[in-house]
Amino acid sequence: MFESLSDKLQSVFRNLSGKGKVSEGDVNEAMREVRLALLEADVNFRVVKEFVAKVKEKAIGVEVLESLSPAQQVIKIVNDEMVELLGGTQTGINLSPDPPTVIMLCGLQGAGKTTLSGKLAAWYKKQGRNPLMVACDIYRPAAVKQLQVLGEQIKIPVFTLPPGEGKSPPTIARSAIQQAKENGNDIVILDTAGRLAIDEELMDELGQMKVWVKPHEILLVVDAMVGQDAVNFANEFNAKLGLTGFVMTKMDGDTRGGAAISIREVTGVPIKFLGTGEKLDALEPFYPDRLASRILGMGDILSLIERAQEAVDEKKAAELEKKLRESKFDLNDFLEQMQQMKKMGPLENILKMLPGVNSQMLDQVNIDPKLLARKEAIVQSMTQEERRNPAVINGPRRRRIAKGCGQSVQDVNQFLNEFEQMRKMIRNMMGPGGQANKPGAGGNGLGSAIRRSGPKMPTGGKGGRFRFFKH
């Protein structure tokens, strides 16, 4: 997502930062590069023109050019304008004080509305809500069945009418809302039909549904791969339905991201969610400041913390901290930490949220996404006794473990050596008495335990780092 744009903008800012003093000519040159980067990312031409003009107007001011760190001032201006371009502040779903809150999803065929219905329902279930999905797409073959399968996966009810009743989608939606009130469902998600192109029949049906059920949110689902066409049909949907928000899907694909940047500025309608993968938990609330920070290479620590909080069990984290203090960290604990890390998503995506990490750096690190799974397979091939006390693993046991996980004895030996090095480092960092050998050690929970113990999952290289994620 935005990798090409991010790399180009960061290159522009590196050139600026290398100058002790920034002249008006330097700013103009940087803005030319910014303009090209945005246009190549498929951002609307008018949006690019206005964005660059605003940045230049602020960046060539006397207070910037004569400041002690003019390059940083220019970067700050670009960041502020990018946040404003993306919507300024985060806009969430408008929840009704009188449940149920009705969310109508609309869009072209293939944008991912049905999958998004499942993602939204799963997201609200995590928030402690009681959602109901409604199959209003009676035209696409297997659309109803697809929604039912998603409902079974996430254990959320799906409202459908028996085949052959001939009910229209607006009628189905109205019946579903009545059932939601009776059953205590406080969120109703309407999965409507799409077309390959906008037509009057589709818009009339959606317009009738809007009048009949009065949805609190009308969200247009936009495939980020579509590019500038997304801006065009978004304007048409907005003019006829009065959209309250957008959801950008397939942001994990080979998209340049221009539609996400353009669509808010052109329509004035906020983006509310980003779909970042095929799995049902791959949905993120849209934060303009966080996305701008990612694009400009400043990381997204807040989103990383939120992912960690969702993945980490606080009770188990406290138990781990105690084991770290007592130097009792074993392979069961290591396996548990790997499984929690997997819940946070691909390691590459996690590293991208760190400030200063770009795609070129990740290419140099050469992360192997399958290597973590191979390490996990080695541990799972061990007995409980071997996991608790790796010292008992002799030659015959190593051969049995290697055979069980489908790897070589050398791989098993390397893993055990790396794990033993990690345990030694933990003991050295914790020091005598179970406290870290550095001033100000303290705090509770997994985060503080990691800060005190020092072991970070390494990315390979020299200087005693482990090669857990590298070839």
User: What's the Rg (C-alpha) of the chain?
Assistant: 26
Token duo for residue 257: 């991201």
pLDDT of residue 41: 79
pLDDT of residue 63: 61
Cα–chain center distance at 437: 36
For the stretch 230-264, pLDDT in tens is 888 888 888 888 999 999 888 776 556 677 778 88
pLDDT of residue 143: 87
Q: Distance between CA atoms of 77 and 69, rounded to whole angstroms?
A: 13
Domain with CATH 1.20.120.140 in the chain: 3-85
CATH superfamily of 101-298: P-loop containing nucleotide triphosphate hydrolases (3.40.50.300)
pLDDT of residue 461: 39
Domain with CATH 1.10.260.30 in the chain: 311-453
232: helix, coil or strand? helix
Whether pTM > 0.75 for this model: the answer is no
Q: Distance between CA atoms of 403 and 378, rounded to whole angstroms?
A: 10
Mean pLDDT for each 10-residue chunk of the chain (471 residues)? 68 70 78 84 85 84 60 78 84 88 91 92 92 90 90 93 74 92 93 80 88 93 79 86 89 67 85 86 85 66 58 64 70 80 66 57 60 86 90 91 91 89 74 49 38 36 39 40
Domain with CATH 3.40.50.300 in the chain: 101-298
Given strand 187-191, what is the order of strands in its sheet?
A: 158-159, 131-135, 187-191, 101-106, 217-223, 245-249, 271-275, 283-285
pLDDT of residue 437: 47
Note the CATH number of domain 311-453. Answer: 1.10.260.30
Under CATH, what is the fold of the domain 3-85? Four Helix Bundle (Hemerythrin (Met), subunit A) (1.20.120)
pLDDT of residue 264: 83
Extract long-range pairs of 425-431: CB within 8 Å, 24+ residues apart: 425/454, 425/455, 426/324, 426/327, 426/329, 426/453, 426/454, 426/455, 427/327, 429/453, 429/454, 429/455, 430/324, 430/325, 430/327
pLDDT of residue 12: 75
Extract long-range pairs of 318-327: CB within 8 Å, 24+ residues apart: 318/444, 318/445, 320/446, 320/449, 321/444, 321/445, 321/446, 321/448, 321/449, 324/426, 324/430, 324/449, 324/452, 324/453, 325/430, 325/434, 325/435, 325/449, 326/434, 327/423, 327/426, 327/427, 327/430, 327/434
